[in-house]
Amino acid sequence: MTLPAPSSPRSRPSASAESASAGIADIANWRAQFPALDQQVHGQPLVYLDNAASSLRCQASIDAELDYYRHGGANVHRGLHALSERGTAAFEGARAQVGRFLNAARPDEIVFVRGTTEAINLVARSFVRPRLGAGDEVLITTLEHHSNIVPWQLICADAGANLVVAPVSDRGELILEEFARLLGERTRIAAFGHVSNALGTVNPVAEMVALAHQRGVPVLIDGAQAAPHLEIDVQALGCDFYAFSGHKVFGPSGIGALYGRHQHLSAMPPWQGGGDMILSVSFEHTEYNVPPHRFEAGTPNVAGAIGLGAALAYLESLDREALRAHEHELLAAATAAVGEIPGVRLVGTAAEKVGALSLRMDGNPPIHPHDVGTILDREGIAVRAGHHCAQPLMARLGLPGTARASFAFYNTLDEVASLAAGLRQVRELFG
């Protein structure tokens, strides 16, 4: 296929006057805090609609990391000199900020990890594997990201246990009655996403936690896609574990957080050995540190944690209700505009969604999502194309993949219009 030449440059996306959810000045101020937005791609102003994969970094997070490196960068914990003490205070301050963001009962319920994937692997290996035997079960859903599938497959294979999967409807909604039915005497944990990365479906997580706890089943929630969009209260949810990643919430890559109830973390063995997870070591015996340090072996990503804390502090400084209303308006406008394009089929039409719009472009033959993504990129529009690390979900829907536009609060209605115009160009190119 010969790619078309980029069209004439568009005007830079603005805080559209059509937005009813937030003022023009508000959106302009939000956008000003994300320096990556101020660039061109293939001669066009960037329209960044790949936020479900990684959000852009806010200036506060960038500045916090740079400040740590510029004024020391010393290692944390046990250091007696000023730079180490300063770094430790900032690192532990970031832990407290994460705890406030999730409304954890105490800061030591927050474990720093590389991201959601590592958090799930930690829980799988340290909490679930010791209590998992032959014939036991781990319950997940069809909506899961690979990161909430493969770790459970690994420990089930080790133990001779079974991975049980709750089904979804054609609309991409969990069938709650089936989830409840599959909770059984052999279920050792229920692990599910708060929001689907591929479809944007919001799961009824409070009901799911309640159903699991009625049967004595602990719960892990993958909150990677929820954290940028929804206010999270782990105490109100009642979950046992909650995980999210920094790069989804306008912070650094390679850092994330696991919330775990204190009684669970205190009873869990370490899953990695090394520095800082110990109290004392001899060749005969090692005494392990208390949580959360027990699970943070080695030199941590100090700058990443500090950057994450700064990103969350920035996010919490904003009117979260205004952000949610604006994002809802973006998704509704995109659903309407894209749905009007001939041959476009929306994938995932749950009643409650946030952040993501997945689609197929039908035809004879259908237009491959990779072609859609490539052509949109020539117009400066960044979307994701493929199976979105959710191959079992795509198989359930009978699709090899989709093109996915995903939104953050710094996106505008003008950018939604650019997306729709770009998709119409794809349609015209393929006839």
Q: Which residues are identified as catalytic? A: 389
What DSSP element (H or E) covers 245? strand 241-245
Is the separation of the CB atoms in 22 and 410 below 8 Å?
Answer: no
Closest CA to 345 of 423, 419, 430, 415: 423
Closest CA to 52 of 414, 319, 406, 314: 406
**DSSP structure string for 391-419:** HHHHHHHT-S-EEEEE--TT--HHHHHHH
Is the separation of the CB atoms in 132 and 138 below 8 Å?
Answer: yes
How many residues are listed for the chain in this entry? Answer: 431
Question: Which one-letter DSSP state was computed for residue 248?
Answer: G
For residue 197, what are its two tokens? 């990365």
Is the separation of the CB atoms in 174 and 168 below 8 Å?
Answer: yes
Closest CA to 392 of 183, 219, 163: 163
Is the separation of the CB atoms in 81 and 62 below 8 Å?
Answer: no
Could you tell me which residues come within 8 angstroms of residue 370 by beta carbon, excluding any fewer than 6 positions away? 385, 386
Alpha carbon of residue 347 to chain centroid: 20
DSSP 3-state of 141? strand
DSSP 3-state of 152? helix
For residue 335, what are its two tokens? 């659903």
